[in-house]
Amino acid sequence: MLVILVLLSEEVAYAFNLVTPALPNMAATFQTPDIAWVSTLFTLTGAISAPLVGKLADRDGKKKWLLITTGCMAVGSLIVALAPTFPIVLIGRAVEGFGLAIVPIVYSLMRDIFPKRMLAVAVSLATAGIGVTTITGPIFAGLLIDNFGYQGVFFALAIFPLIIGALVLLVVPESPIRVPTRIDWTGGLLLGATIAVVLFGIGEGGTWGWTSWKTLSCGALAIAVFIVWIQQAKRSDHPLIDLSVLRGRPIVTTLITQFTGQAVIALQFVLLSFIVQTPIALGLTYGLGETAGFMARITTPAGVASVLMGLLVGYLAERRGARLPNWIGFALMAAGSLVLAFSHKEFVPILAGYLIYAFGGGLISAAIPNLVIAATPVRLQAVTASTVNVVGSLGSAVAVQIGFAILALNVATVIDGSPIYGGSGFTTVYILAAALAVIGLVATLLMPHGRKPQSTEALT
């Protein structure tokens, strides 16, 4: 049963780790400059739906909603695999995005059905399983893309959930716990609209012009809807995001690190996909001219480094607090991003820069959950964890959209309708990643919590 729940968590991670290496192939196939939306729409849908689905699972049954969200993953992946046009691809990715609720539901179900003595081990194994996908994902992606094109990835992502869903149906028990609650559909709609308008404005700003009336109108509309959402959340008895948990320096600084950390992680993986697969013959200042499978030569050692750093965080948090590994992690992410900003033409410096970043990414990925615990009273940890997940998803979505907007300003040439970005664009985006990491570093240094051993600092 535990193995099945771990595989469910891995299913969501593979929806990132298998798809990102396929983006260059998809951009060429559909001849589109808007390929960023393949990642952004998936993350956006998940960010908004995960809190809503989580409440539905508490109310109606966690196993029931695991099956529904797993079905969404399968159906969405199949839509993408068979899509004749790019808009259909985006519809499929939006449907897939509902599967992002799987991971928090899995953790919640574990809490309900496992004895307390087994819970820590179960959660650790699920977390480790997600970490393993950073190693295996690019390997599988390379094999599928190089032999079957991007469609191979999405057919695999459609079949895997069906198998795991059948095992869940047959083996995993339903939680006996039900929590009567009201669902904040209005809040979800308003927040989703705000984020969608912001991302759309960013994505089209380069085409429209950043000072054009269309771009400015998107900004004004987003601000107006955001203000309405805040007022609605304050009045609601069951808001999508409880704004009361956002008060105080501990949680604000932690949310900043989550946003910036996930933003850097998303940018690094997406940029690497294009750098590895862009042909050398184009004569650009980047591009290894390799296949998707070649990415594994970089991402596999980086994944191992990330997992090892995650284990180190547990040791450091118990003895020095989680703040130390977090600021070290952001420093390494900034350093790795700067290496890649100015050295993205040859394999060795690319590997070195990505490894430096990966050591940092592993540290912050494990440290931030510990900092959330240290920053939050026990009675608020569930709602805070949900908010942190939403903020992390938004960090990924916004960063990828901004990154591609910058790349779109630096198009070197267009081949078969697909833009080939100039090297200066990659330099700029890597510098952006370094700047985001520095912001995360500063936020960590300003944290009043995480300075003591974890066991002595948890709030009550």
Q: Of all residues in the chain, what percent carry a pLDDT higher than 70?
A: 95
Quick one: tokens of 229? 């959402």
What pLDDT is attached to residue 260? 97
Mean pLDDT: which of 32-46, 151-165, 195-209 is highest?
A: 151-165
pLDDT category, 54, cuts 50, 70, 90? confident
pLDDT greater than 60 at residue 457: no
Amino acid code (one letter) for 78: L
Question: What's the pTM?
Answer: 0.87
What pLDDT is attached to residue 324? 92
CA angle 69, 25, 163 (to 5 degrees): 30
DSSP 283-350: --SS-----GGGGHHHHHHHHHHHHHHHHHHHHHHHHT-SHHHHHHHHHHHHHHHHHHHH--SSHHHH
Q: How many residues does the chain have?
A: 460
Q: Per-residue pLDDT averaged across 271-298, rounded?
A: 92
CA atoms within a 13 Å half-sphere pointing along the CA-CB vector of 113: 20
Mean pLDDT of the chain: 88
What pLDDT is attached to residue 380? 65
pLDDT greater than 90 at residue 227: yes
Whether the CB-CB separation of 278 and 295 falls below 8 Å is answered with no
- Residue 451 pairs with which residues in a beta bridge? none
Higher pLDDT, 177 or 448: 448
How far apart are alpha carbons 33 and 258 in whole angstroms?
29
How far apart are alpha carbons 252 and 116 in whole angstroms?
31
pLDDT greater than 80 at residue 348: yes
Higher pLDDT, 111 or 362: 362
How far apart are alpha carbons 274 and 33 in whole angstroms?
13
pLDDT greater than 60 at residue 459: no
Whether the CB-CB separation of 373 and 458 falls below 8 Å is answered with yes
pLDDT greater than 80 at residue 148: yes
Q: Coil, strand, or helix at residue 419?
A: strand
| H or E stretch at 418 | strand 418-421
